[in-house]
């Protein structure tokens, strides 16, 4: 564990992802971003909707294949060692749903096993999670019948079921009520204390401000700034993250309205 403190848990270099859309042509959703995340820190990706946060995180979770650049999780390359990467990763997002017909406990067992958690310790681990998230009273209820708050707890528990060193939370508080959102933030704090490397994406400034050790500001696929909150404050001279964000974004949009590549239609002769 101690050696890992010095090597980054997540390493991203010049990562790119290009999509193609019928009307708009080629779109650089992620356009050459680089960053590291080390164990015991929460790294925040801040950006508006469509800035490329989800695409970046999905590439890290090996669901999408990078178009260019490289990324690794705990030293495993996301392209070549997908399985190893996923074993070391817990991925939580609004679009990772739960199986409605399994009970809460079965869900946790399933995801612990499937992610390669040692078979003899699965039950102990699940018990531990059940206690930690207070799922005990409804552990045998089917997921489809749980309330959204309960579902969220089960969902977080399943994300860390196999005790991975790296966790990715993609807009985790979207659609949650205040109490649940606060609970989510508490959980992430706990995970950080456990020495996990946490990647956290959001467009809600206050959360990022409160939670993240380092912040990357993502805009139209590019990383405009990267640093601790203090560093960013120094750079811009603004105090609130909201203003920092706006400053960076308008700076780009003002001087360089079109980010190169973002709307380049390389493939339309005559257009």
Judged by the rule CB under 8 A, the positions of this chain that interact with another protein are 18-22, 25-27, 29, 55, 58, 61-65, 67, 82-83, 86-87, 89, 91, 93, 95-102, 106, 110-111, 113-116, 142, 145, 158, 162, 267-269
CB of 205 to another protein, least distance (A): 25
Query: 237 vs 270, which CB is nearer to another protein?
Result: 270
Q: What distance in Å separates the CA atoms of residue 211 and residue 235, rounded to the nearest whole number?
A: 20
The least CB distance from residue 124 to another protein, in Å, is 17
- Nearest distance from C-beta of residue 99 to another protein, angstroms: 5
Distance, in Å, from the CA atom of 43 to the CA atom of 204, rounded to the nearest integer, reads 14
- Which tokens hold the place of 87? 């074993």
Q: Which two tokens stand for residue 243?
A: 């203003």
**Closer residue to another protein in complex, CB, 13/24:** 24
Q: Which among 51, 46, 42, 95 has a CA at the least distance from the CA of 204?
A: 46
- By beta-carbon proximity to another protein, the closer residue of 64 and 211 is 64
**Residue 2 corresponds to which tokens in the numbers above?**
């101690």
Q: Are 85 and 29 in contact (CB under 8 A)?
A: no
What is the number of other CB atoms lying within 10 angstroms of the CB of residue 147? 9
Report the nearest approach of another protein to the CB of residue 169 (Å). 12
Report whether 98 contacts 158 (CB < 8 A).
yes
Tell me how far apart the alpha carbons of residues 108 and 156 are, in angstroms, rounded to a whole number.
Answer: 10
The least distance separating another protein from the CB of residue 168, rounded to whole angstroms, comes to 9
Bridge partners (DSSP) of residue 91 are 168
Beta carbon of residue 20, minimum distance to another protein (angstroms, whole number):
3
Of 172 and 215, the one with the shorter C-beta distance to another protein is 172
**Quick check: 17 and 70 in contact, CB under 8 A?**
no
Nearer to another protein (CB atom), residue 173 or residue 229: 173
Closer to another protein by CB, 169 or 245: give it.
169
């Amino acid at each position: 564990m101690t050696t890992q403190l010095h090597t980054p848990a997540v390493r991203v270099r010049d990562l790119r992802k290009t999509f193609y859309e019928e009307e708009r042509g080629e779109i650089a959703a992620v356009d050459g971003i680089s960053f590291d995340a080390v164990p015991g820190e929460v790294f925040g990706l801040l950006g508006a909707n469509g800035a490329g946060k989800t695409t970046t995180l999905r590439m890290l979770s090996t669901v999408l294949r990078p178009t260019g650049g490289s990324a690794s999780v705990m030293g495993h390359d996301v392209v070549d060692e997908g399985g190893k990467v996923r074993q070391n990763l817990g991925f939580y997002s609004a679009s990772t749903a739960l199986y409605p017909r399994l009970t809460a406990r079965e869900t946790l067992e399933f995801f612990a096993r499937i992610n390669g958690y040692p078979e003899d310790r699965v039950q102990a681990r699940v018990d531990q999670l059940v206690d930690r998230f207070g799922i005990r009273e409804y552990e045998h209820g089917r997921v489809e019948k749980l309330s959204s708050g309960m579902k969220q707890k089960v969902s977080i528990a399943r994300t860390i079921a196999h005790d991975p060193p790296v966790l990715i939370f993609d807009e985790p508080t979207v659609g949650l009520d205040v109490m649940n959102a606060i609970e989510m933030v508490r959980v992430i704090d706990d995970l950080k204390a456990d020495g996990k490397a946490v990647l956290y994406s959001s467009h809600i400034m206050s959360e990022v401000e409160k939670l993240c050790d380092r912040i990357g500001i993502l805009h139209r696929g590019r990383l405009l700034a990267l640093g601790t909150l203090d560093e960013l404050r120094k750079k811009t001279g603004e105090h609130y993250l909201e203003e920092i964000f706006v400053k960076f974004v308008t700076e780009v949009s003002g001087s360089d309205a079109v980010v190169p590549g973002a709307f380049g239609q390389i493939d339309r002769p005559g257009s």
